[in-house]
Amino acid sequence: MTAASATTSWTITPEFTFTDAERTALEEALGTVIANPYRLYDAHLFQINALIASGAVPQRFRNYIESLPTRDRTAEPVVVLKNVPYDRDVPIFDFDQPVRSKYELKTTFLAEGFLALFAQLAGTPAIGYVNVNDGDVYQDIYPQRRLQSSQSQKALNQIHFHKDLANHFVRPDQVYMVGMRSNPANEVYTSFVRNIDVISSFTESELELLRSREFYTPFDDLSTMGGGRVELGEADRHPIIGGEDDLRYFENRTVGVSDAAKAIVPKVTETLHALKQRVFIEPGDFVVTYNNHTVHAKEVINVGDPDALKTRWIIKTVNVDDVSPHRRHLVPGTEHLING
């Protein structure tokens, strides 16, 4: 099957929508979580767990989350929920120092609380990285002047197809995102492609090449350009396809190191764009990406309000199914912070 003829029956549609009454009640409960998650993460998480134990979470939502372990992540690697709790009317952050500005201006933590709530109920703990925002668990997809031309979550324009931290020694199993601010005047989409659809688009001989260690991808920009404190060294050569359906590829950054490998890279990119599905993340949208079963991109199709593009904002966490396999990489004395 060629990229042009590949088809998919998979469609991304919202799977759960909070009623206004459910959302309002949960926002009120999350408002009682007063520990600052950027300074007192353990206390924040303790309070979230106490909130869960109190019975404040709508049973309908709990039932939905309890259904997720039986989900076929390979076939359905993206989840969209609507009308989730988030913080409204947060002031605009400084374009030069958006993270520092967030610390100063954001005084409520509803979105962070919801991310933690979902993670705790789903049994998928969030992790932070020493090299990313000094280890913050809650990160922002929010432009920054110095990194606006990078391929990181602080980019102003497009971010090519990738999966989060694919080259890192601790790759997340999930990426959770809450839409905070977006302007419909700007056509900015988060686009997704299933790994299995990409793989089915290549012949057996092409797959053999794609499974060889004839490819190279540098470490992600945020880990290397964001003032990281841990030197990561040189990334290893790797296959684009590993195991049954793992796809390790960063569009326009992954390169072949042999003539045959160089020749097939453009077809991978072509295939991704032939199969992509676009999602416009609105405020109050919650998106789950199963990071090992899909790749995603930020696509900027049309800009009607350039100033609003600088303030588009999504809060995210990266999560794992189990911290135990990564324990040797934890900063001593922590249960969530990766030393790298």
Decide if pLDDT at 172 tops 50.
yes
Decide if pLDDT at 135 tops 80.
yes
Of the candidates 252, 227, 51, 56, which has an alpha carbon nearest to the alpha carbon of residue 154? 227
| pLDDT in the model for residue 228 | 52
Residue 12 class from Cβ within 10 Å (0-12 exposed, 13-18 middle, 19+ buried)? middle
Residues 165 and 318 sit within 8 Å (Cβ to Cβ)? yes
Q: State how far the Cα of 307 lies from the Cα of 85, in Å rounded to an integer.
A: 25
Q: State how far the Cα of 227 lies from the Cα of 212, in Å rounded to an integer.
A: 33
**Does pTM top 0.95 for this prediction?**
no
Residues belonging to the binding site are 162
Q: State how far the Cα of 151 lies from the Cα of 255, in Å rounded to an integer.
A: 16
Residues belonging to the binding site for Fe cation are 162
| pLDDT in the model for residue 121 | 98
Average pLDDT over residues 309-332: 97
Q: What is the pLDDT of residues 45-77, one digit of tens each?
A: 999 999 999 999 999 999 999 999 999 999 999
What domains can you pick out in the chain, each with its CATH number? 16-338 (3.60.130.10)
10: how many CB neighbours lie within 10 A of its CB? 17
